[in-house]
Amino acid sequence: MLDAAFMMLCLVIVAALLFDYINGFHDTANAIATCISTRALSVKSAIMMAAVLNFIGAMISTKVASTIGKGIVDSSNVTQMVVLAGITGAIIWNLVTWYYGLPSSSSHAIIGGIAGAVIAHAGVSALKWAGLKKIILALILSPILGTIVGFIFMLLLYRVFRNSAPSGLNKNFRRLQIASAALMAFSHGTADAQKSMGVITMALVSYGYLQTFAVPWEVMVACATAMALGTAAGGWRIIKTVGHDFVKLQPVHGFCVETASAGVILGASAFGMPTSTTHVITSTILGVGLSKRITAVNWKVAQRIVVAWVLTIPAAALMAYLTYQVMSPLLGR
């Protein structure tokens, strides 16, 4: 007969893979919204391309997984219940923002969820403030960098191709945009699937299956597959917000957005910094829109997006905290 601890571990793994699946369709827009908006690819082709490259990207590195698994909380205060409640809080918030078409950050959601569950279990002192500060600093700086890079890159393209006919320019960049969207999908995999890898590995250490924090290859494959399947399911609500409602884009703008965003995300992932792909690409779209003119940006949509950004960590933390309080008496600590 299976013991209770093993059953709890199985629940944690299923919840983490479900989070990765939801992350896939929740964040599909990060990679493909702009190329759908500019008609560089059909919805079906773009989603399938993103699914494949999300999988490949997720298999490349585990640096971000290590940051998530070891940098947020003291491992001595991590139980299976803490991990399960943290993931559940993140899932709830992701579904809420997906329903309303808001491109919130899955990275923020999982960080807030784990922090909220640990606070419910052991109090605020169990948090690793140095690690949290590093993570939150990266999540704050990345959209600022995305806006600046998008703005400057777009101005450079304007200067280089200032004598080109708009029709021919957009035709050529529509082809290039497919490559840039592929790069963005790959970078999304390197950043986002690793959050669940870190959470599952944290649970395996807590259970005693692993003696040290090292992501097993089986966990890498499972998380990469879950994210790829979620991506294949699509996420039209957020695609519409990012690719249509925020800033009207032409192929040259889409190429700029995807290339600049992928550069920022891949650079951060190389250093194990868990950036939010949602924040980076949305802020890069903002930078590109500002390079056209300030009125090119739909500021009402921008306001909704920023509100979702600000609320995500505390909202996911609160939901995880409440989940822990409800589930702990039922399933045990």
> Is 80 exceeded by the pLDDT of residue 330?
no
Query: Distance between CA atoms of 107 and 194, rounded to whole angstroms?
Result: 10
What is the percent of the chain where pLDDT is above 70? Answer: 83
Tell me: pLDDT of 292 over 60.
Answer: yes
The model's confidence at residue 88, banded by pLDDT at 50, 70 and 90, is very high
Per-residue confidence (pLDDT) for residue 228, from 0 to 100 = 81
**Does residue 69 carry a pLDDT above 60?**
yes
The overall average pLDDT reported for the chain is 79
pLDDT 10s digits, 229-254: 887 776 555 555 555 555 666 778 87
Is residue 159 within 8 A of residue 252, CB to CB? The reply is no
Report how far apart the first and last C-alpha atoms of the chain are (Å, whole number): 20
pLDDT of residue 83: 85
Name the residue among 102, 84, 262, 271 with its Cα closest to residue 188: 262
* pLDDT for 111 beyond 80: yes
Look at residue 332 and give its three-state secondary structure: coil
